[in-house]
Amino acid sequence: MHAPAHAAGKNTQVPIFVIGHVTKEGTVAGPKVLEHIVDAVLYLEGERYHSYRLLRGVKNRFGATHEIGVFEMHGEGLVEVTNPSAVFLSDRATNASGSAVVVSMEGTRPLLVEVQALVTPSNFAIHVARLTASIIIALVMLMAVLTKRVGLAVGGHDVYANVVGGFTIEEPSIDLGVAAAIASSYREKLIPADMALIGEVGLSGELRAVSRLSLRVREAAKLGFKRCLIPGAGQGSRVRKN
């Protein structure tokens, strides 16, 4: 945006939108001055072959940036999804191993999504730990915890993990759900369909407390989940072999 255009927008109180693209590292392409002169920077995220898009604020000169908007592409354009958790879970298969429901906080909004994992014996010396969508977590760390602390020998297997819907989730509160999905696929045991999993996993196998736990549990209850697997009081609970 040139300085005259920026000044014209300020003087006339007319909003000016600048549409650009991001680099492979996830930053706005071009000179950093562009981000400094604008009042807000919004990222429109989503997988190429999915119809859902997430609008996330990373800069807001006059307010908070922790709120998100979820939209779905229709013929007339992007339409707001008022209850994204229900939409993301609508096609969930409840009779398949390797599937877990987690509760992530996106700003002040709790979001329930399905995490899927697939564990298969490896035919190669180098094993795969692959995030087939965009789960931004330490997947290799969780595999190590399951092997060392729980006794599940997943280290000799190829492990794939995926968030249904193709969104980026950075919050560590989904660690427990991802670990449970991996164990479910490895053991071929189903996770109860009415259970949501919330918790961060530490290197010692402990389940760490997460923020806004009551809000997450209430959101799960609203969507019909009857049980939530959560960290115990303090940090005394641990991942166990079941």
Given phi > 0 = left and psi -120 to 50 = alpha, else beta, which region is 234? left
Q: Which SS3 state, helix, strand or coil, does residue 165 take?
A: coil
Residue that has been written with the tokens 């999915």 in this structure: 50
Q: Which fold has domain 86-229?
A: Ribosomal Protein S5; domain 2 (3.30.230)
- The model carries a pTM of 0.74
Cβ atoms of 207 and 237 within 8 Å: the answer is yes
Most confident listed range (49-58, 60-69, 172-181): 172-181
Burial label, 31 (beta-carbon count in 10 A; 0-12, 13-18, 19+): exposed
Cβ atoms of 47 and 166 within 8 Å: the answer is yes
Distance CA 18, CA 41 (A): 10
Q: Give the residue with greater pLDDT, 126 vs 25.
A: 25
- Where do the domains of the chain lie? 3-83, 86-229
- What single string gives the DSSP state of each residue in 45-84? E--TT-SEEEEEEEEETTS-S--EEEEEEETTEEEE-S-H
194-229 confidence digits (pLDDT tens): 999 999 999 999 999 899 999 999 999 999 999 999
Confidence category of residue 236, pLDDT binned at 50, 70, 90 = very low
Cβ atoms of 54 and 73 within 8 Å: the answer is no
The continuous run of DSSP H or E covering 100 comes out as strand 99-106
Distance CA 100, CA 238 (A): 18
Confidence category of residue 234, pLDDT binned at 50, 70, 90 = very low
Q: Give the residue with greater pLDDT, 153 vs 187.
A: 187
Q: Which SS3 state, helix, strand or coil, does residue 221 take?
A: helix
Q: Residue 129's pLDDT is what?
A: 60
Distance CA 159, CA 211 (A): 29
Averaged pLDDT score across all residues of the chain:
82
Distance CA 13, CA 210 (A): 42
- How many of the other CB atoms lie within 10 Å of CB of 217? 18
89-130 confidence digits (pLDDT tens): 887 878 889 999 999 988 778 889 999 999 998 877 555 666
How is residue 217 written in tokens?
Answer: 């549990």
